[in-house]
Amino acid sequence: MPTQGEYLGMPVAIDDLDQPNQEFYTHCGSGALHLQACAACDLLRYPTTTACPWCSAAAYRWRPVSGKGTVYSYCEVHHAIQPLFRPHLPYLILLVELDEQVGAPNQHDGLRVTSNLVTPAGELAPEPLVRSVGIGTRVRVVLHDIGGGMALPQWTVDEAAKQPERPWRYPQE
Amino acid sequence: MNADIDATASKHLRGKYAIVGVGETGYTRGSGTSTRALGTTAVRNAIEDAGLTTADVDGMLSYNGNDSVPSTAIAGDLGIRLNFYMDCQGGGSSTEALVGIAIGVIEAGLCKTVAIFRSMNGYSQVRIGGTGRSTGRSALSGDALFGRAFGQASAAQNFAPTFMRHMYEYGTTPEQVAHVKAIHSEHASNNPKAYYKQRVTVEDVLASRMICKPLHLLDCCVETDNGNCIIVTAMDRARDCRHPPAAILGVVGRCSKPRVDNYFQSGPISSVAGVYAKNILWPNAGVGPDDIQVTGAYDAFTFTTMLQLEDYGFCKKGEGGDYVSSGIMRLGNQRPNNTSGGHLCEGYTHGIAMVIENVRQLRHDIDDSCPLGADGRRQHTYDYSEGGCRQVQDAELTANLGWATPVTGSALVMARGA
């Protein structure tokens, strides 16, 4: 039986044979974002893979990470392709660089985790919140329960963090 | 992660193969026919254009990133007996890669002449962007968990963080990039077969509705129905064909940056595959960007043209915004880009039509509205005003820069053959 859940009306079904994804979402469900850490070179990686992209070793451990990071880039969607996202326009897709492993293993590399901007309660962000976030905004992870013991990692503004005076936003606004 | 190759290797294949035939259907939104019929028409037209017969073609290659038709159907319909064929997965960047494969299989003795085609009802059947698709509720699993779950499903949504980061790092402006659409629309106005022939301005682009920042509607290409084909063969055979051959000087196929699985993880994401591909392309072709007279930089979006021209070295890194807004890409100026109007205006073909356009440029036989002479060839006026000429004067050397995603690209340098 696949591990099953639901998000925004979309069924989630992770096959038993897809262990890295089952484990990733189950760790999120247990309350903390974990990433695969290579058993050979110890580098973290994202998203889930079946071997280490940096040294090709297969073995890994799950390691909890802080779940904090900085918006590295973003896409602000005004025309939804997926009908289920239409009620939430405009919505933000954030590319967030985690605080762990910045500039490693190579100078411009980073652990860049994609997800939506949400409220602290896990709802897709309303327009005023969308307009307040840009490159440089400090965010923290919110784990949104999707059932089946799983959760989806999402991003919300880190209220406790020191924020940039003005995060970088697309200029034509 | 070492992705480098020895680009100083023997160049014994440079100029040994050529594109000898090009063909297409019209560009429509509603072809009213099957991808099989579109493909058959395109291949037949390309064979005829080359001055060959179906008996001369014994190899076939195609690609499909959404809908298409297999080589077996086309070959069967046209009565072609094949010595080699292969249909592969992929969209943009496939054309140039398949040109390289065609050279390889001919060189290996598998066949002698290869038809490469792409057939799609990209508007009326499978729309690549997914607009209107009813599968929004299908189960999230595998890769979809890291994309569609977050409302990141279309090419625009996937590429936007790359485009946005380029603006952030280099100060690239929406106005600069909008010039790509404006200039391509001028070119399309001189292309009777272009789907969108209406000229638009930078202001029109910026005033069009936002799809997903930083992409306005007019920063995005058109979706159309069409079939297109090119014919590749060895230069000794090419000299017997109807038109001057477009000699293949160098080709790069699906060259990729690290982390092709998830391109946001590695390096500055504001760079694209051209940073690697250029180190194969230029040494193998024996020319550099300064020598090129016409470019065909893939324009799925205005930004893709800019990023590729920059990373293949047509300008300094970070100066792509200046390059595309300088006017250099306009017909009549130093290095026109996508003289057909490209994917933004002519029609969307996953890159093959941009190769066809450059073949015709090298033949000095662009299909514009210039008057036909007594020899049946167009008497080009080089007056590039609306509705006029789009032949580049004395075109001898072209470059195609094909785009799959920011992480993968292909390229092709062609010269006017003797």
Say how many domains are in chain B.
1
**CB-based contact (8 Å) between A13 and chain B?**
yes
Whether this prediction's pTM lies above 0.80 is answered by yes
The answer to whether residue B234 is domain-embedded is yes
The answer to whether residue A169 is domain-embedded is no
Whether B228 and B349 have beta carbons less than 8 Å apart is answered as yes
A6: chain B residues, CB-CB within 8 Å: none
The answer to whether residue B66 is domain-embedded is yes
pLDDT in tens, B43-99: 999 999 999 999 999 999 999 987 899 999 999 999 999 999 999 999 999 999 999
Written as six digits, the tokens of A24 are: 């990733």
Would you give the DSSP letter of residue B200?
-
Give the best residue of A77, A139, A155 to mutate against chain B (max B CB count within 10 A).
Answer: A77
Rounded Cα distance, B359 and B356, in Å: 5
The answer to whether residue A167 is domain-embedded is no
Look at residue B393 and tell me whether its pLDDT is greater than 90. yes
CB contact under 8 Å between B140 and A7, yes or no, is yes
B85 is catalytic: no
**CATH number of the domain that B66 lies in?**
3.40.47.10
For A172, name the nearest residue in chain B, comparing CA atoms only: B174
**CB-based contact (8 Å) between B259 and chain A?**
yes
- In total, the C-beta contacts within 8 angstroms joining chain A to chain B are 148
Rounded Cα distance, A123 and B19, in Å: 55
Whether B158 and B148 have beta carbons less than 8 Å apart is answered as no
Rounded Cα distance, A98 and A89, in Å: 26
Rounded Cα distance, A23 and A150, in Å: 9
The answer to whether residue B51 is domain-embedded is yes
pLDDT in tens, B140-197: 887 788 888 999 999 999 999 999 999 999 999 999 999 999 999 999 999 999 999 9
The answer to whether residue B350 is domain-embedded is no
Strand order in the sheet with A60-64: A44-45, A34-38, A60-64
The answer to whether residue B31 is domain-embedded is yes
CB contact under 8 Å between A84 and B137, yes or no, is yes
Rounded Cα distance, A14 and A5, in Å: 9
B348 is catalytic: yes
pLDDT in tens, B327-350: 999 999 999 999 999 999 999 999
Q: Which domain, by its residues, includes B234?
A: 17-126+224-238
What are residue B34's phi and psi, to 5 degrees? -85, 160
Say how many domains are in chain A.
1
Look at residue B7 and tell me whether its pLDDT is greater than 80. no
For A73, name the nearest residue in chain B, comparing CA atoms only: B161
Which of B298, B312, B323, B384 does the annotation list as catalytic? B298
Q: Which domain, by its residues, includes A153?
A: 3-157
For B213, name the nearest residue in chain A, comparing CA atoms only: A76
The answer to whether residue A165 is domain-embedded is no
Of B226, B231, B239, B228, give the one whose Cα is nearest residue B60: B231
The answer to whether residue A162 is domain-embedded is no
pLDDT in tens, B246-276: 999 999 999 999 999 999 999 899 999 999 9
Rounded Cα distance, A12 and A147, in Å: 9
Q: Where are the alpha helices (DSSP H) in chain A?
A: 19-29, 127-130
- ipTM value, please give it: 0.97
Of B19, B24, B254, give the one whose Cα is nearest residue B114: B19
Rounded Cα distance, B224 and B349, in Å: 8
Instruction: Identify the bridge partners of residue B247 per DSSP, sorted by sequence position.
Output: B18, B415
* pLDDT (average), residues B222-240: 96
Model confidence at B131, pLDDT cuts 50, 70, 90, reads low
Of B94, B112, B92, B91, give the one whose Cα is nearest residue B103: B112
pLDDT in tens, A127-152: 999 999 999 999 999 999 999 999 99
The answer to whether residue A66 is domain-embedded is yes
Q: What is the pLDDT of residue B2?
A: 41
The answer to whether residue B231 is domain-embedded is yes
CB contact under 8 Å between A85 and B151, yes or no, is yes
pLDDT in tens, A27-70: 999 999 999 999 999 999 999 999 999 999 999 999 999 999 99
The answer to whether residue A95 is domain-embedded is yes
Look at residue B3 and tell me whether its pLDDT is greater than 50. no
The answer to whether residue B52 is domain-embedded is yes
